[in-house]
Structure 1
Amino acid sequence: MQLYARDVGSGTPLVLLHAFPLSSAMWLAQREGLAGRFRVITPDLRGFGGSVLGADEPSIDVMADDVARLFRHLGVQRAVVGGLSMGGYVAMSLCRNHPDLVLGVVLASTRGSADSAAARDVRIAQAERIEREGTIQALVDDLLPNLVGPTTLRQRALVYGRVRGLVQATPPQAAAWAQRAMAARDDAFETLRSLKVPALVMVGDEDVLAGEDEARAMADALPNAELLVIPRSGHLCAVEQPDLFNQAVAEFAAALARTRH
């Protein structure tokens, strides 16, 4: 099972894992803004974009194993790994199961805790509706309005339109599979507490899906972490405020590249 990935630039590898229910297309501004300094690798996670879904049971760990295989396929020994939202869950699983691959980790708009019973029920209900209807209308109705913040809705109509298009392009089977995978994931705080590499935690100040409290809890659990709150941004901070996001990631990755040599 080989993931489709875009691979641009040269230098220290930077692997960016996309949010649900998008694809690596969400990282356009990161490929454009960071490939001058880093080797930017943006895979489509299983079932999304150009990657096939396969027959495995829904699992975040399976998604992380896919990413580890991609490292080997591309000849990448270690990388700065960044994940936003669902991509953050995959990044934390990679830290747990393949720690030797991770030079540093960027966790954006994500959370270390497992779903509450209520949140799990919502995910399973959405997965069932998607499977029943054969469309992702459930996500357009329930999730899309919360993916970006009110500032983006008011001032960045093009950004919202692009996010909407990415959500609408999601294959229904992949969306249902990923919801089940996220619902089944474990708490990651033990992984965070034992992390041996530096971490950068980011959150938008208008994020209603994974807010500042979750980000702060993760930063507090990590032995070596900085926390950055991105202003005028909702859940998709990398898409809503790409310049601020890119600047923070570039500084973090450049510092790691220096300590490596």
Structure 2
Amino acid sequence: MELLLLHALPLDGTMWAKQMDLLPGATHAPTLYDFGDNIGSWAENALSLTTAKRLVVVGCSVGGSCALEVTALAPERVQALILIGTKAWRRRDLAYHSSVLKMLNEEGLEFAWQKSWSPLLSPVASPETIERTKKIALRQSLEDVARGVKVFHTRPSRDDVLSSLSGPVAIITGSEDTAPGIEISRKQAVMARNGLLYVVPECGHYVPIEQPEVLNSIICRTLETA
């Protein structure tokens, strides 16, 4: 069994620092931006990092979308799926997509971080957590984040993966997260054949950084049942 950890926007693989020792030597946390400009390419390249026949795939936000795509590509290898702050169904919103790209290009990454992504953290997140998350975000290139925005807004809907996977599907949301939020997360857990909903108290969108111990417990529980 190996773990494949797929990061959120506008972060990178280092957001999983607190999860890397759960399966020592059998955990992969790539940074996805160089894998192409569409979710299929991201999934193919992420999957190519391991030859393991049994995978537990964990994704946060756009990383969750990538995890769904990995599962669509190799359902026989994915034993369990853990989705954090992820919406399987996509509603096309060209205006919002364009507005985020315009903000990045005209105002820069730090402004976009403060406007679009920093508010996704819990209001009770510690200053250290906020600073660490911001530091990861601001070391990305503007071009990489813009590519990630494109991948997120052009991904396909993958409700079918939730309803077809026979293994455990853990749907995780922070209690303070609105993207996609508790109600949509609950519906997705019901949609999955073997779904469980976890609502993490005092937590926003970036559960691996904000509440790593809680997430680690869920991952370990899922590994035991996969």
Shift of 1:201: 0.8
Shift of 1:101: 2.4
Amino acid at match of 1:130: L
- Seq. identity, %: 24
Q: Secondary structure of the residue that 1:253 maps to in structure 2? A: helix
Amino acid at match of 2:58: G
- Residue 2 of structure 2 corresponds to 13
Q: Secondary structure of the residue that 1:100 maps to in structure 2? A: coil
Shift of 1:35: 3.6
Given the two structures, how large is their TM-score scaled by the length of structure 2? Answer: 0.93
- Residue 100 of structure 1 corresponds to 76
Is the 1:105–1:200 contact (alpha carbons within 8 Å) kept by the matching residues of 2? yes
Matched, 1:142 2:115: yes
- Residue 200 of structure 1 corresponds to 170
Can you give the 5+ residue segments of structure 1 that lack an aligned partner in the other structure?
A: 1-11, 48-52, 257-261
User: Matched residues in 2 for 1:138 and 1:169: separation?
Assistant: 14
Pair member with larger Rg: 1
Matched, 1:31 2:20: yes
1:231 to 201, 209, 212: 201
User: Matched residues in 2 for 1:125 and 1:250: separation?
Assistant: 39
1:89-132 per-residue CA deviation (whole Å, 9 max, x = no partner) reads 00011111221221111011111120342xx4222222234345
Equivalent runs, 1:1-261 vs 2, <5 Å: 12-32=1-21, 34-35=22-23, 39-45=26-32, 47=33, 53=34, 56=36, 58-71=37-50, 75-117=51-93, 120-131=94-105, 135-152=108-125, 156-256=126-226
Shift of 1:78: 2.3
Q: Secondary structure of the residue that 1:226 maps to in structure 2? A: strand
- Following TM superposition, the consecutive aligned residue runs of length 4 or more in structure 1 with deviations greater than 6 angstroms are none
Q: Secondary structure of the residue that 1:229 maps to in structure 2? A: strand
Amino acid at match of 1:28: A
Shift of 1:138: 4.2
Shift of 1:222: 0.6
User: Matched residues in 1 for 2:62 and 2:82: separation?
Assistant: 13
Shift of 1:141: 2.8
- Superposed CA RMSD in Å reads 1.8
Q: Secondary structure of the residue that 1:232 maps to in structure 2? A: coil
Aligned residues: 226
User: Matched residues in 2 for 1:172 and 1:17: separation?
Assistant: 19
Amino acid at match of 1:252: T
Given the two structures, how large is their TM-score scaled by the length of structure 1? Answer: 0.81
